[in-house]
Amino acid sequence: MVQYNYFDDNIKFNIDGIKYAAQKGMGIFIMEPLKGGILTEKMPKKAEKIFKNENSEKTNAEWSFEWILNNPEITTVFSGMNSIDQINENIAIANRVTANSLSNNDLKTIEKVKKVIRNSLKINCSSCGYCMPCPKGVNIAECMMIYNEKYLFEDKKIIPSSLLRYFSLVGGIVNKPANAGLCNNCGKCIKKCPQNLNIPKELKKVKKEMEGHGFEFKRWIVKNIGLPIYQKFKYNFY
């Protein structure tokens, strides 16, 4: 079982490793085919436009699954689904796509999208959660997801929204504090990460940008002033 998608195609196993395992009679099971949702609804607008210009009827998820199932060595793709529509869509794609069915133009289109996402994504985290639980209580996946989304979405509303989400979901306003600043650099998470990320180092980036100096004061401001204002104007920040 390996993490494999058109963005993470060379983390621990590239296609050569997959082919070698298949030649030895091993089944190849793919996890994180949509990179925690980043390759579906969380893509930059520029990336989505490339896909739509090529084929307006295909969904982002369809492009991702087609790229994986294009490889004849793949046995099964594991994908998180939370609705009947998603289940039906995935089954339909799996029934339709055959190995080596993507054209050179299709592959070039996916490479263009990959480049756009790579330029936008600050931390190559798929939010798989394998690094957790953190001994200090940091919600690593959520911290990195919010930080990434601040840059992935090309919308000015995302900047204040991401800050509110950060303070609410990991900053201690709604739940118990689980912010990046709690990290003590123990390094236990590094060994668990399938993408070999230096998680404590990445959390320092999150802390610097999302917390900064005077974190407790900022949390008070967000809770007592920012949050009520946002709720009044009915912004959906979750």
CATH number at residue 33: 3.20.20.100
* pTM check: above 0.85: no
By CB atoms closer than 10 A (0-12, 13-18, 19+), residue 232 is: exposed
Neighbours of 107 (CB within 10 A): 12
Do 113 and 12 fall into the same domain? yes
Do 70 and 161 fall into the same domain? no
- Is residue 30 scored above 60 in pLDDT? yes
Closest CA to 176 of 234, 219, 230, 211: 219
Residue of higher predicted confidence among 67 and 45: 67
Residue 130 in any domain: the answer is no
Do 84 and 194 fall into the same domain? no
Residue 237 in any domain: the answer is no
Residue 238 in any domain: the answer is no
Predicted confidence band at 234 (pLDDT cuts at 50, 70, 90)? low
Residue 133 in any domain: the answer is no
Residue 127 in any domain: the answer is no
Predicted confidence band at 154 (pLDDT cuts at 50, 70, 90)? low
- Is residue 157 scored above 60 in pLDDT? no
Do 69 and 162 fall into the same domain? no
- Is residue 163 scored above 90 in pLDDT? no
Residue 15 in any domain: the answer is yes
The domain tally of the chain equals: 2
- Is residue 237 scored above 60 in pLDDT? no
Residue 39 in any domain: the answer is yes
Give residue-wise pLDDT tens across range 92-134.
988 988 899 999 999 999 999 999 988 888 898 888 889 999 9
Domain around 196: 140-232
- Is residue 159 scored above 60 in pLDDT? no
Do 13 and 113 fall into the same domain? yes
Q: What's the rounded mean pLDDT across residues 26-48?
A: 86
Please provide residue 151's backbone torsions phi and psi, each rounded to the nearest 5 degrees: -105, -30
What single letter denotes the amino acid at residue 232?
Answer: K
The whole-number pLDDT of residue 238 equals: 42
Residue 134 in any domain: the answer is no
- Is residue 155 scored above 70 in pLDDT? no
- % of the chain residues with pLDDT over 70: 92
Do 115 and 145 fall into the same domain? no
Do 112 and 148 fall into the same domain? no
Q: What's the rounded mean pLDDT across residues 188-209?
A: 93
Do 85 and 169 fall into the same domain? no
The whole-number pLDDT of residue 174 equals: 78
The whole-number pLDDT of residue 127 equals: 81
